[in-house]
Structure formats: structure tokens, C-alpha cells
Amino acid sequence: MSFLSRIFGRSDPREAARPCYDRIVVHGRDPFWYIDGAVEDSVDGRFEAVCTVLCAVLLRLEDDDTDKTVRQFSVYVAELFVDDMDGQLRQNGVGDLIVGKHIGKMMSALGGRLGAYRTALAAGDGPQLEQALRRNLYRDAPVADAAVTASAGHLSALYARLKTLPVQKVMQGEF
């Protein structure tokens, strides 16, 4: 809940998405990504892992986006991501004048990743997903094929599990 919400007694409607976002972060910090998936355990690596899981969840919610409630919920999840990244940047010493520029780049990155993962996950094609992961999750850094294959399998399994769940379970963070 934001400071102003507490003062004026108004609840932040985005808080309804908090359990889902918190679960996304838990999945993004799963040691699998950093051990088996060989994602760099750094600020950038953790951003990429959380962003990858966020994309899988947003793509699942997209399946039900004709429902205005689900569409608004997706916006709230994305806004919580922005708030989280804003806080992380500030905690790491990025100044007020630069934070907005970084957030803009992050949102652009999220949009690009959504497109890449949407296409690759829909194709169900290992090589296409691996290519998207190399470009995005690993930022084209050298990484062993086995790690990329493991990450592709992990992301595919997560997305498949999300698709089997009712949208309400996903929205409640029960995945």
C-alpha cells in the first residue's frame, strides 16, 4: 500500500495483483535459473529471470484478455513490476533524473520479450524458444547449449502449467 493511500485511507487497486506478482518474483528467483539455467546471478540476470516468468504469466492472462477484469489485472501486474524495478534502481543508487530513462528501457525490453516469447511458446518449438532465450534471458552472452535447453524446458513447463490453470488461480498467484 502506498504512503498516500495509507494517509487518505484509500486502497491501491493494484494490491489485488500483489499475490500474483510476488509469486512471479519467487519463480524468477528460483535457483534453477542460476544453477541449471546458468543465468548470471547479478542484477541484470535476476531482472531477466523475473522478466521471463512475468512474460509467461502475462501471456497466460492474455488468453482471457477479453474479460476487462483480467485485462486490468494484467496492467496492475505490469505496474507492480515497474514499481519494483523503480525501487531496485533507487536502492542500487540510480538517481531520480535517470530512473525514468531506465524504466522506459525496461518496459521496452518487456514488450520485446513478450513478443518473442509469445511467438516461440505458441510455436512449441524448442529451437525458436532457445533462440529467444539466448537473445533475451542471456542477452546474447556465451552460454552452454545445455543451460539454454534447460531454461527452455523450464519456461515451457511453467507456461504449460499456467495454461492448464483457471485464470482466477493464476490471478491469485496459485501457480
Domain that holds residue 88: 13-165
19 part of a folded domain: yes
141 part of a folded domain: yes
60 part of a folded domain: yes
Digit-coded pLDDT (tens) for 76-100: 999 999 889 777 766 767 666 677 7
1 part of a folded domain: no
7 part of a folded domain: no
174 part of a folded domain: no
103 part of a folded domain: yes
Domain count, the chain: 1
DSSP the chain: --HHHHHHTPPPGGGGGHHHHHHHHHHHT-HHHHHTS---SSHHHHHHHHHHHHHHHHHHHHTTTTSHHHHHHHHHHHHHHHHHHHHHHHHTT--HHHHHHHHHHHHHHHHHHHHHHHHHHHHT-HHHHHHHHHHHTSTT----HHHHHHHHHHHHHHHHHHHHS-HHHHHTT--
Digit-coded pLDDT (tens) for 100-121: 777 778 778 889 999 999 999 9
Digit-coded pLDDT (tens) for 140-152: 999 999 999 999 9
Whether residue 60 is predicted with pLDDT greater than 60 in this model: the reply is: yes
